[in-house]
Amino acid sequence: MKIAVLSRNKHLYSTRRLVEAASARGHECIVIDHSKCYVGIRQGQPSIHYKGHDIADIDAIIPRIGASVTFYGSAIVRQFEVMNVISANPSQAITRSRDKLRCMQILSGAGLGLPITGFARTASDVDDLISMVGGTPLVIKLLEGTQGVGVVLAETKKAASSVIEAFYGLGNNILIQEYIKEAKGSDIRAFVVDGKVVGAMKRTAKEGEFRSNLHRGGTAEVVKLTRKERETAVAAAKAMGLTVAGVDMLPSDRGPLILEVNSSPGLEGIETATHKDIASEIIKYLERQYEVKQLLKPIVKRKIKKESKL
């Protein structure tokens, strides 16, 4: 296969590992900056151009779409899909997962465990929102935040009101979320590929911090998931429509609670903690999809030929 990793930085660990894994399995793998791609929309002839050339020879893509370019990046993924190119994650699922509120609504509808979450538009609803999530302490999150940025722990009602009003005053959309005390600053990242957990790690916040993100100085160690945690991670990825996903969960007294489902989960932390070749699991998924596509080709051709005689 010819595989393209859609990434804005070829030097990132995750991008490098995917290229290495694809090459090791005998595939040609290139890195394409999706922010520099542009599309041609024409009846029956969709196209994608990159650096002045039509790229029509790609068999599969692995989207590594950053949060700041979600709209444009997902549009490029969608164009590849229109051109019948295999994608590690569907464009619609990527867009879905990037909207924290939409993600929570989908997971809630699927009956999966979540921290109690509130969402409102005006500061006049603050008191009821705080009461809704069980009072303080509580967590306030920017809808567009990533890697722990825009996440605040409010210890008191006065502090929560001030932070919420400040965010609203700046025109930001936020979520107010129940604080899970028993998690003790730790969460679990389960890496799901094609409906199977291929690796899991426990992330613990550094001293004096409640956010366990590795980008915020948290540490990671391999962890063995309980049956419930494994089932929850797989069900969350399925509900979001993601084939490759990082599912973040908090351990709680009422079972695992999902914090986020990431469509472009980093590989460095999970591979370092588990010593597993997660990148190759993603390539193997693409191989399986390519084999199915090749098997279906004769059937599609026969169907088109038969229809053309009618």
Q: What are 254-289's pLDDT values in tens digits?
A: 999 999 999 999 999 999 999 999 999 999 999 999
The CA distance from 36 to 16, in Å, is: 19
Mean pLDDT of the region 139-166: 82
pLDDT grade for 148, boundaries at 50, 70 and 90: low
Sheet holding 28-32, edge to edge: 28-32, 2-6, 60-63, 86-87
pLDDT at 310: 43
Model confidence, pTM: 0.88
Residue range 296-308: average pLDDT? 58
**Percent of the chain predicted with pLDDT > 70:** 90
Spatial distance between the Cα atoms of 246 and 273, rounded to a whole number of angstroms = 14
- Segment among 24-33, 165-174, 207-216 with least mean pLDDT: 207-216
Q: Mean pLDDT, to the nearest integer, of 101-127?
A: 90
Bridge partners of 208?
none
- Would you state the pLDDT for residue 68? 85
pLDDT band at 308; cut points 50, 70, 90: very low
Tokens describing residue 53:
């050339």
Close Cβ partners of 205 (under 8 Å, ≥ 6 residues apart) = 185, 186, 211, 212, 216, 217, 218
